[in-house]
């Protein structure tokens, strides 16, 4: 004799939604913001590019719009995978000094002080703005290589692997943590 499933046998929708919401809550805001922007950009390129290609009767325009849209969407999926699997490193500290902010240089050197008194240098693009004396959390791509211990080399290795930063508060006025 077959048993008829009732509503209690099916998974509860609110519980499933809460579980999915909890999973996305574990992703830092830097990643969710960037994933959302990449997704919007990819679909905008895909749909607007396809629409314009149809209007101009250009199959090449449509093709390249689809290729570019898919490429950006794959980047968003890869970033989501990185955020969910924890494939990133976090550096948290106070900005002690910002140097080399000239209009002729592409990068700025930031000296970060940690709670234990240690310091390190980061080399970031100059369009990334931060305040001296504020505490930040910096997100980087996880690297398999070991840091050399030479501040200038380690700072140069950090370029190209930066995901973003978030301010976590103001430090004390004496420049120490």
Position 128 scores a pLDDT of 84
Q: What is the mean pLDDT of residues 66-78?
A: 95
Alpha carbons 26 and 18: distance in angstroms, whole number: 13
Give me 141's structure tokens: 């791509």
Position 71 scores a pLDDT of 97
Is the confidence at residue 10, as pLDDT, over 60? Answer: no
β-bridge mates for residue 113, sequence order? 94, 119
Residue range 114-138, pLDDT digits in tens: 888 888 888 888 888 888 899 999 8
Q: Regarding predicted confidence, which is higher, 147 or 66?
A: 66
Position 145 scores a pLDDT of 52
- Report the percentage of the chain scoring pLDDT > 70: 69
Whole-prediction pTM? 0.67
User: What average pLDDT is seen over the chain?
Assistant: 79
Instruction: Tell me the backbone φ, ψ of residue 83, rounded to 5 degrees.
Output: -65, -40
The Cα-based distances of 55 to 44, 48, 51, 76, 86 in angstroms read: 16, 10, 6, 28, 44
Is the confidence at residue 177, as pLDDT, over 80? Answer: no
For residue 69, give every residue at least 6 positions away whose Cβ sits within 8 Å of its Cβ, in sequence order, or none.
Answer: 42, 43, 45, 46, 49
């Amino acid at each position: 004799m077959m048993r008829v499933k009732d509503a209690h046998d099916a998974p509860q929708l609110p519980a499933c939604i809460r579980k999915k919401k909890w999973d996305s809550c574990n992703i830092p805001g830097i990643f969710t913001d960037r994933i959302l922007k990449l997704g919007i950009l990819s679909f905008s390129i895909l749909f607007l590019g396809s629409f314009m290609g149809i209007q101009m009767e250009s199959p090449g325009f449509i093709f390249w719009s689809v290729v570019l849209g898919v490429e950006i969407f794959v980047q968003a999926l890869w970033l989501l995978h990185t955020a969910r699997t924890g494939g990133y490193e976090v550096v948290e500290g106070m900005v002690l000094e910002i140097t080399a902010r000239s209009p002729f240089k592409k990068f700025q050197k930031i000296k970060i002080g940690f709670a234990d008194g240690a310091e390190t240098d980061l080399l970031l693009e100059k369009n990334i703005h931060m305040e001296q004396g504020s505490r930040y959390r910096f997100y980087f791509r996880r690297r398999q290589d070991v840091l050399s211990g030479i501040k200038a080399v380690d700072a140069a290795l950090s370029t190209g692997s930066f995901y973003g930063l978030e301010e976590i508060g103001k430090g004390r006025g004496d420049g120490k943590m």
